């Protein structure tokens, strides 16, 4: 009677290294693994909402992603254009997730430009929606008293 090797022995065997790398991965799973979205459900919602495009075409969450494809991902006000370098279906740390894609230089420049424009627009707006502080109220009272006489 020949015994079969257990699963744990097979899992850590030298043959495990011979398994070929992933050839294709679902789009929603890759976006989650690359840390663009916190959950696969959020990735799926974004894809179905038209916020993710593959090579300029709208995609479905179950679309198989392959290396070399270009993705346009819209998150809030920012839009990132990335090229898929590696495939992964496991979520790892941020340094490892950055190795899965390469953001184009045009995308980085455009995002920085939009960020600078937003910051400039926010600085130019005056906020009068708060009540005056105690110091400001005293200044207002002094100003009114000085101008009444």
Residue 59 confidence (pLDDT) = 93
- Evaluate whether 111 touches 79 at the Cβ level (below 8 Å): yes
Residue 48 placed within a domain: yes
- Evaluate whether 32 touches 97 at the Cβ level (below 8 Å): no
DSSP classification of residue 13: S
Residue 1 placed within a domain: no
To the question of pTM greater than 0.75 for the whole model, the response is no
Residue 16 confidence (pLDDT) = 45
Residue 86 placed within a domain: yes
**Which residue bears the tokens 């290294």?**
17
Q: Domain tally for the chain?
A: 1
Domain of residue 25 covers 20-121
Q: What is the pLDDT of residues 86-141, one digit of tens each?
A: 999 999 999 999 999 999 999 999 999 999 998 888 776 666 678 889 999 999 99
Residue 96 confidence (pLDDT) = 94
Residue 46 placed within a domain: yes
- Evaluate whether 54 touches 46 at the Cβ level (below 8 Å): no
Residue 139 confidence (pLDDT) = 92
Residue 139 placed within a domain: no
How crowded is residue 47: how many other Cβ atoms within 10 Å of its Cβ?
Answer: 23
Report the CATH number that the domain containing residue 90 is assigned in CATH. Answer: 3.10.290.10
Q: Please check the confidence at residue 15 and state whether its pLDDT lies above 60.
A: no
Mean pLDDT (whole number) for 7-33: 68
Among 34, 48, 22, 117, CA closest to 80: 34
Residue 92 placed within a domain: yes
Residue 127 placed within a domain: no
Cα 52 from Cα 111, distance rounded (Å): 16
Q: How confident is the model at residue 6 (pLDDT cuts 50, 70, 90)?
A: very low
Residue 135 placed within a domain: no
Cα 23 from Cα 46, distance rounded (Å): 24
Residue 1 confidence (pLDDT) = 53
Q: What is the pLDDT of residues 30-84, one digit of tens each?
A: 999 999 999 999 999 999 999 999 999 999 999 999 999 999 999 999 999 999 9
């Amino acid at each position: 009677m020949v015994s079969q090797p257990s699963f744990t022995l097979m899992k850590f065997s030298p043959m495990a290294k011979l398994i070929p790398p992933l050839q294709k991965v679902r789009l929603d799973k890759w976006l989650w693994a690359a840390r663009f979205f916190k959950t696969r459900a959020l990735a799926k919602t974004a894809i179905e909402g038209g916020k993710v495009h593959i090579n300029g075409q709208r995609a479905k969450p179950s679309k198989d992603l392959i290396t070399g494809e270009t993705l346009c991902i819209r998150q809030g006000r920012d839009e990132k254009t990335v090229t898929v370098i590696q495939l992964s279906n496991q979520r790892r740390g941020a340094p490892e997730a950055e190795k899965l894609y390469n953001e184009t230089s045009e995308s980085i420049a455009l995002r920085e430009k939009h960020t600078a424009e937003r910051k400039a627009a926010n600085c130019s707006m005056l906020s009068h929606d708060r009540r005056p502080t105690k110091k400001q109220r005293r200044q207002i009272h002094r100003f009114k008293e000085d101008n009444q006489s």
